[in-house]
């Protein structure tokens, strides 16, 4: 049972009562913010709150021993045939000891129900990968599992925009990729860092030998602001001004100053910075997407990412007087094109970049010697 304040929290003790004569395990799970469920902090009944409600009626309610990898905390009323479990997904993380893996109906491995990344085992198997390669793919996915859910607010709870387990359009690995390419995304195949020299000193990568190409990077971020602030943004009633417009301008300004903020980034003349800020009123979230373009010798991924994060921070700054429960999340590169590699998180086809001719760098030679007229 998912308990929600003002909706069914008055039935918690009724569920416990069911264990009096029946040898069943009743499970309570804290209300989690999956996309589309209109999650709000005020609706969540925490594990400790549920314990308090139950102990008001069953004062001898006691905790039971748990196995090392249990995701549920076991409790029972002495003398009752069954027991009660609490899945504390929001207030007391158990990610570090969770050993659960899930496979979706279309063959994607999901290492965390609360996460939004998946690995396609189906595509690996269809590529005739070996058992060792499949083991390596699964192992790499498990090793990337976070110690706890991303995004924790000051009340100790988490907010993370998730996708349903049956929704695969956001899967990290697309179905048209050969297995070796999929594995290369999961595991680092090189121990050489391009921004460190042979002495271990940081340095800027020399791109003088690269070709000039048309480069594009797309990134995104989201800011969960809560229902009250979302309604104020919708009505353009935030005291500091138009949140969406100001954050959009902030993102553009940040993209142009990336090399001043990220130490080893090149100073790139940008061709275009397009920032889209939208309010998702239903989910109380501001969604931000940036598209950055240039014609040069190195990519603009950092410009796109800094653009989104700065826009997100601006949303936070303009709304922080109303709440500190605002959460910035889902900061990610969606795709890049140009240079030697392409990347696309969403799996759509990306056209290969067009190689442009190199700029002419020879000085212009004068046809005849210049003689000043006053001589």
- d(CA 19, CA 24) in angstroms, rounded, equals 6
- d(CA 224, CA 233) in angstroms, rounded, equals 12
Sign for the pseudo-dihedral over CA of 229, 233, 239, 240: positive
Active site residue 206: no
- Which 3 state secondary structure label does DSSP give 2? strand
HSE toward the beta carbon, residue 124, CA cutoff 13 A: 24
Least Cα distance to 75 among 96, 52, 94, 97 occurs for 52
Let me know: does 236 contact 229? Beta carbons within 8 Å.
no
The distance between the two most distant Cα atoms of the chain, rounded to a whole number of Å, is 115
Q: Crossing angle, helix 243-256 and helix 301-319, to 10 degrees? A: 140
Per the structure block, which two tokens stand in for 322?
């109303």
Looking at 49, 280, 317, 325, which residue is catalytic? 317
- d(CA 222, CA 280) in angstroms, rounded, equals 10
At residue 58, φ and ψ (nearest 5 deg) are -115, 85
Residues with active-site annotation: 317
């Amino acid at each position: 049972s998912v308990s929600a304040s003002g909706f069914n929290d008055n039935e918690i003790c009724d569920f416990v009562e069911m264990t009096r004569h029946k040898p069943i395990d009743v499970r309570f799970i804290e209300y989690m913010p999956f996309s589309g469920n209109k999650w709000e902090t005020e609706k969540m009944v925490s594990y400790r709150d549920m314990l308090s409600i139950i102990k008001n009626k069953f004062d001898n309610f006691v905790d039971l021993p748990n196995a090392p990898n249990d995701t549920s905390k076991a409790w029972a009323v002495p003398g009752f045939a069954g027991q009660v479990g609490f899945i504390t997904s929001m207030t007391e993380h158990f990610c570090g000891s969770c050993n659960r893996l899930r496979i979706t109906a279309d063959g994607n491995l999901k290492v965390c129900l609360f996460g939004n990344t998946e690995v396609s085992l189906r595509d690996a198997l269809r590529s005739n990968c070996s058992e060792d390669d499949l083991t390596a793919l699964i192992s790499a996915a498990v090793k990337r599992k976070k110690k706890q859910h991303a995004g924790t607010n000051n009340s100790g709870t988490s907010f993370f925009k998730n996708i349903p387990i049956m929704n695969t359009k956001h899967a990290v690995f697309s179905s048209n990729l050969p297995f070796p390419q999929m594995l290369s995304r999961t595991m680092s195949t090189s121990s050489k860092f391009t921004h460190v020299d042979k002495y271990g000193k940081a340095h800027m990568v020399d791109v003088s030998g690269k070709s000039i190409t048309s480069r594009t990077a797309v990134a995104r971020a989201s800011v969960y602001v809560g229902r009250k602030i979302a309604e104020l943004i919708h009505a353009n009633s935030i005291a500091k001004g138009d949140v969406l417009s100001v954050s959009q301008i902030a993102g553009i300004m940040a993209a142009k100053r990336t090399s001043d903020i990220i130490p080893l980034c090149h100073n790139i003349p940008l061709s275009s910075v397009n920032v889209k800020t939208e309010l998702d009123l239903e989910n109380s979230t501001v969604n931000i997407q940036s598209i950055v373009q240039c014609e040069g010798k190195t990519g603009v991924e950092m410009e796109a990412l800094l653009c989104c994060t700065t826009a997100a921070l601006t949303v936070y700054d303009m709304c922080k007087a109303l709440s500190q429960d605002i959460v910035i999340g889902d900061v990610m590169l969606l795709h890049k094109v140009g240079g030697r590699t392409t990347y696309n998180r969403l799996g759509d086809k990306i056209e290969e970049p067009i190689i442009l001719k190199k700029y002419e760098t020879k000085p212009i030679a004068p046809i005849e010697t210049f003689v000043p007229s006053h001589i």
